[in-house]
Amino acid sequence: MILTVTLNTAVDLTYRIPALVPHASHRVTQVIERPGGKGLNVARVLGALGHETVVTGFAGGATGETLRALLARTTAEQPVHDALVPIEGATRRTVAVVDAATGDTTQLNEPGPVIAPAEWAAFTARYTRLLDGARAVALCGSLPPGIHVGAYAELVRLARGAGVPVLLDTSGEPLRRGIAARPDLIKPNADELALLTGSRDPHRATRDARRRGAHTVVTSLGPEGLLAATPEALWQAAPPAPVRGNPTGAGDSTVAALLAGLIDNTDWPTRLAHAVALSAATVLSPVAGEFDETAYETMLPRIRVSEARPTA
């Protein structure tokens, strides 16, 4: 099985409106509620692809109960299992406002609950048990209040000690600390990578991130696709044309594809083609954690993957 960790889970609300106008009242034409948080989105995509997945992290309060009920309902026909740790605080909510006129999305994220030391200890104990039997683990998203900034570094070291490949998808200081623990793969976007390395050149920054400790770095370039620095080569993968829609969760679908490629041991061009196609198909879906299957199958053979020429 694949283990995904979401320390800052959420209930995702998506509002569709005809057009977003500042300082105006809006009539919502559609409301969609889904279990959220990066690792849960990854797990749901993996489940849709047929991979057995276990989700862990925290869930608490009435929102946490809603989250678990939504997870059970949306994954009822998928091999996704709930191993979330209960907490006293209330799970957060996120709101995505989709402007139907432009296709743009405005995201509002609540802060997460404060995690007590005993709750963190309960989580790490469960995480350690779940590593036994895991084929890969993904550590995803922000840290809720109360958890120390080196938490992901600690979890990376536990996974490496158990011999489980680990993918880290976070940002800021948690990423800086986590990469020093030498994860097998990180997946920043261009802005997160620039903050980590100080370079706005994706080629230079991706290679620099490898030198900081990551075995492989896959950088999201938004509509331009992915740039991957592996020990063997530098690869670039791009869609045939930009797609418009709701980008929320597109990076999580990239993570899902990279994990699937890891456990299936496919070559890097194949992994990256699937990652770009799945990400684009997620943009075309109305909510995170889901993708347009027809678009995915149609786009996959059209993804351009080539060995990139490093910049000076």
Q: How far apart are CA 203 and CA 109, in angstroms?
A: 31
Per-residue pLDDT tens, the chain, 312 aa: give them: 999 999 999 999 989 999 999 898 999 999 989 999 999 999 999 999 999 999 999 999 999 999 999 999 988 889 999 999 999 999 999 998 988 888 788 889 888 899 999 999 999 999 999 999 999 999 999 999 999 999 999 999 999 999 999 999 999 999 999 999 999 999 999 999 999 999 888 888 988 999 999 999 999 988 889 999 998 889 999 988 877 777 777 899 999 999 999 999 999 999 999 999 999 888 887 766 788 888 888 889 999 998 876 655
Q: Tell me the CB-side half-sphere exposure of residue 91, using CA atoms within 13 A.
A: 27
Tokens 């797990």 belong to which residue? 43
User: Token digits for 263?
Assistant: 């456990």
Helix and strand counts by DSSP (H, E) for the chain: 10, 15
Q: Let me know if 252 is a catalytic residue.
A: yes
The pLDDT value recorded for residue 159 is: 98
The pLDDT value recorded for residue 77 is: 86
3-state secondary structure of 260: helix
User: Token digits for 84?
Assistant: 């979330």
**200 Cβ neighbours under 8 A, 6+ residues apart:** 190, 194
Contact 55, 43 (CB under 8 A): yes
User: Token digits for 31?
Assistant: 């409301």
DSSP single-letter state for residue 300: G
The pLDDT value recorded for residue 85 is: 97
Q: What does each C-alpha distance from 76 to 4, 120, 187 come to in angstroms?
A: 18, 28, 29
**176 Cβ neighbours under 8 A, 6+ residues apart:** 196
User: Token digits for 249?
Assistant: 């969760």
- pTM confidence score: 0.91
The pLDDT value recorded for residue 306 is: 87
The pLDDT value recorded for residue 203 is: 86
Q: How far apart are CA 220 and CA 228, in angstroms?
A: 9
Among residues 12, 169, 252, 292, the one annotated as catalytic is 252
In degrees, rounded to 5, the angle at the alpha carbon of residue 185 between the alpha carbons of residues 180 and 190 is: 90
The pLDDT value recorded for residue 311 is: 55
Residue 95, H or E segment:
strand 92-99
